[in-house]
Structure 1
Amino acid sequence: MRAERMSPLLALGLLVAGLCSSVHCLPENVTPEEPHKGASVDDHSLASSNTDFAFSLYKQLALENPNKNVIFSPLSISIALGFLSLGARGSTLTEILEGLKFNLTETPETEIHQGFQHLLQTLNQPSNQLQLSVGNAMFVQEELKLLDKFIEDAQVLYASGAFSTNFKDPKVAKRLINDYVKNKTQGKIEDLFKDLDPLTKVILVNYIYFKGR
């Protein structure tokens, strides 16, 4: 496909062809009000914020790794952190979304989530030219109970699942996570984790499967 014919969304989507990232964190069980309405954030605004975030993160990573190649997926990270912010509030929520380069005085939190929802739906649409599947999963220590509303919004807005996991049995937990990622990546990533700490409480993973002509 010639570059001048490539849509902005597809160009943005190709940024996810980097690697699978994992984030270890513990969210609060809070979700925004009325998250299921149509997206209000236009594609250009979302792409602009993600581009600013990508260059900001690249600059930091490049400074920490001088004279080395730096490969990462900015869209994967922003989607994962956007999903994580569903369970945050107060200063934590503000820091996550502002860190993703969103202007919260201009763009309400609910519109940000709706923008990611629209982007994910567009990227994951079937195509004759390529196969692209992007999503997240949260694995939570079984003593910690997530609200049903959080689980629902995670699936609807971010195509993400949240699963009760027994990290006190690291072998079982590792197999659960690795099998999930293996299935979502058509067997391309078999062992995302080699070992797990039995004290782990939450693991957030982002996965990408990309196959194009």
Structure 2
Amino acid sequence: MRAEGMSPLLALGLLVAGLSSSVHCLPGGGLHLEDVTSEDQHKGAPVDDHTFVSSNTDFAFSLYKQLALKTPNENVIFCPPSVSMALAFLSLGARGPTLMEILEGLKFNLTKTPETEIHQGFQHLLQMLGRPSNQLQLSVGNAMFVQEQLKLLHKFREDARALCASEAFSTDFRGSDTAKKLINDYVRNKAQGKIVEFFKDLDKLTEMILVNYIFFKGHKCRGATTLCEAERDFFFLT
């Protein structure tokens, strides 16, 4: 997405700072992990928070540089945790070199941070974001829609639900209208009706679609005045 009216670095800084303050200063809301069924299976040594944050920060700025290079004279707005959480979800179904490339692409050093600790780190992040709050509503999650001929393993579904608050659906992309309705209904529900038609067309040769969503609703700070408000042009481009 692209926005006009502020420097590229400031746009990224505001977005990262905004997420950090919601994690560390305000309990989140809207994400429910209480129905996780494999909690005991995923218990282990606590992840090194410094390593986890450092890797995610490196990934965020690395991705930002790539996006900024494509549009050097325009501002860039994106949500790094959304991308990293989606890729972490995808890695649960990967093995061998593909798994290593995904996790190393997320800037994790696999000789220092085992795969299990990486997923525990994302699980912990989701749990922090999911704490109930009367100050804001925050809902975060992923979904994978996979062509029905590709059979999903039970363990993958279980791990996705427990570690990533994610869902995986067998989908008939050959009947593209049915698949489009399934995905659009899912997105509309998670976005509380704010996004009505996410997909207008789907290629019948599609094998998989990975969806990440963030729904945020906050309240205006008490004591805020119009002195801090100003109208400016703002553009969203996908």
TM-score interval for Structure 1 and Structure 2 normalised by the shorter chain: 0.7 to 0.9
In the alignment, what sits opposite 2:30?
none
Contact 1:35 1:153 in 2 (8 A): no
Please tell me whether residue 10 in structure 1 is matched to residue 10 in structure 2: no
Please tell me whether the aligned partners of residues 138 and 205 of structure 1 are also in contact (alpha carbons under 8 angstroms).
Answer: yes
Corresponding letter in the other structure for 2:136: L
Distance 1:44 1:53 in 2: 14
Give the CA deviation at 1:69. Answer: 1.7
Rounded to whole Å, the distance in 2 between the matches of 1:159 and 1:39 is 20
Q: Which whole-Å CA distance do the structure 2 matches of 1:39 and 1:212 have between them?
A: 34
In the TM superposition, what whole-angstrom CA distance separates every residue of 1:155-194 from its partner, at most 9, and x where no partner exists?
A: 0100100111100111110110011011111112222211
Aligned equivalents of 2:51 and 2:25: distance in 1? 15
- Match of 1:118, SS? helix
What TM-score do you get using the length of structure 1 for normalisation? 0.83
Would you say how many aligned residue pairs link Structure 1 and Structure 2?
A: 189
Unaligned runs of 5+ in 2: 1-17, 27-39, 220-238
Aligned to 1:166: 172
1:180 corresponds in structure 2 to: 186
Match of 2:59 in 1: 53
Q: Give per-residue Cα distances to partners, 1:40-85, cap 9 Å, x unaligned.
A: 2133332221111110000111011111121111100000000000
Structure 2 counterpart of 1:161, one-letter code: E
The alignment partner of 1:66 has SS state of coil
Q: Partners in 2 of 1:12 and 1:54 — Cα distance?
A: 18
Runs ≥4 in structure 1, deviation > 6 angstroms? none
Q: Which moved more, 1:39-48 or 1:84-93?
A: 39-48
3-state SS of the aligned residue for 2:101? helix
TM value normalised by structure 2:
0.74
- Taking every aligned residue pair, what percent have the same amino acid on both sides? 72
Q: Which amino acid letter does the alignment assign opposite residue 199 of structure 1?
A: L
Q: Could you tell me how far 1:8 is from its partner in structure 2?
A: 4.4
Name the SS of the counterpart of 1:150 in structure 2: helix
1-structure distance, mates of 2:64, 2:210: 21
Q: Structure 1: 5+ residue runs without aligned partners?
A: 1-5, 15-33
Q: Residue 37 and residue 160 in structure 1: after superposition, are their counterparts in 2 closer, same or farther (change >3 A)? A: same
Change (3 A) 1:13 1:152: farther
Q: Alignment partner for residue 106 of structure 2, among 100, 115, 119?
A: 100
Structure with bigger gyration radius: 2
Change (3 A) 1:112 1:199: same
